[in-house]
Amino acid sequence: MKNICLLGATGSIGEQTLDIIKAHGDKFRLAAMTFGKNVEKAAEIIETFKPKYVAAGDERTYKKLKQLSFSYSFQTGVGEEALIEAAVFPEADIVVNALVGSVGLIPTLKAIEHKKTIALANKETLVTAGHIVKEHAKQYDVPLLPVDSEHSAIFQCLQGENPKQIKRLVITASGGSFRDRTRKELEGVTVEEALNHPNWSMGAKITIDSATMMNKGLEVIEAHWLFDLPYEQIDVLLHKESIIHSMVEFHDRSVIAQLGTPDMRVPIQYALSYPERLPFEEAKSLELWEIGQLNFAQADAERFRCLQFAYESGKIGGTMPTVLNAANEEAVAAFLSGRITFLEIEDIIEKALERHQAIAKPSLQEIREVDKDARRFVQTLLT
């Protein structure tokens, strides 16, 4: 029995993680969980899975939770301190970081210090402070298991292989909601259009990131840290069917790919069950004859500017990816609330990056200060 701490239980990845726990009740148990503001959904999860620790995102939500009655008693907490308490909860073996944004960084570091296995779905943790997270994981001998379908695919392709013989990684991208539109056709697109992802069921922020291709840019930076490869050996390939989740090319020109129907529960389950594979009857079998053909195209840097920003920020390193991520989070939030247009997301990120002087090997405190400063700067652009 593996005891799970689920950070971000009411989000898209959180819900799908719960599907896996429910499907394999003899293998997994929810020991601790956190959630943001959705008390109703959290209450259903609590009553169904009966975790021993529950953390709410803010004081108002916490008070709502305390007013509810449950069939059993459990520990509760609120805010960042409670996030950390959940991440280091003594009974938890695996911490699934399904949070959205840089809020996932500190709980991950604390969980590593407490020797918890990390199943990482939170890109921003490695994007914001990859060097610190990797040093931490090495120091405490803690595995970082990727949950993103692309990184899980690479991880699976590398089983039994010599990492020193990798020529390159090829991360596939659906292209998001607007993959077939020109830049001119992106002028005036609505939030509803941007949230209409053709392949995947994801949360609002990640879906917008997919539409701008920032999601893929963040994945490139994450892959750099997870697999210890320079950016020159990490490519992005447009593949609108999302059947090939990623590929690895080796020095002998052999290419190994991981394929499957688009279902995030499959990589989530692999991270939880690793090194075993468990059956999952709810996932649809891949029938290539039904699909008929697979399409591929190069990722155009001029068309997808956010992808180019990510490559450039990653190569500069230090605090530049921190600014990239912070500016993107603020800009996406502004778009979702109707304060800016879709294309202005890119403009805001570019201005934040141009303003910043990167710190080469920042401390955790410097990273947090740079993150706050970048967010403040973006807010000045929005007033």
Are the C-beta atoms of 272 and 28 separated by less than 8 Å?
yes
Axis-axis angle for helices 123-140, 214-227 (nearest 10): 10
State if pTM tops 0.85.
Answer: yes
Are the C-beta atoms of 372 and 244 separated by less than 8 Å?
no
Q: Mention every residue, 6+ apart, whose C-beta is less than 8 A from residue 352.
A: 323, 324, 326, 327, 374, 377, 378
Q: Summarize pLDDT for 138-188 with one digit per residue, the tens.
A: 999 999 999 999 999 999 999 999 999 999 999 999 887 788 888 888 888
Question: What residue numbers does the annotated binding site for NADPH cover?
Answer: 10-13, 36-38, 122, 124, 203
Question: What residue numbers does the annotated binding site cover?
Answer: 10-13, 36-38, 122-124, 148-150, 174, 197, 203, 210, 215-216, 219
Q: Summarize pLDDT for 26-66 with one digit per residue, the tens.
A: 999 999 999 999 999 999 999 999 999 999 999 999 999 99
Question: In the chain, where do the E strands start and end?
Answer: 2-7, 28-34, 53-56, 75-78, 94-97, 117-120, 144-146, 166-173, 234-238, 244-250, 255-259, 297-298
Question: What residue numbers does the annotated binding site for Mn(2+) cover?
Answer: 148, 150, 219
Domains of the chain are: 2-146 (3.40.50.720), 162-260+285-309 (no CATH), 317-382 (1.10.1740.10)
Q: Summarize pLDDT for 280-304 with one digit per residue, the tens.
A: 988 889 999 999 999 999 998 888 9
Question: What residue numbers does the annotated binding site for 1-deoxy-D-xylulose 5-phosphate cover?
Answer: 123, 149-150, 174, 197, 210, 215-216, 219
Which token pair is 352? 């934040």
User: How many whole angstroms separate alpha carbon 374 and alpha carbon 64?
Assistant: 33
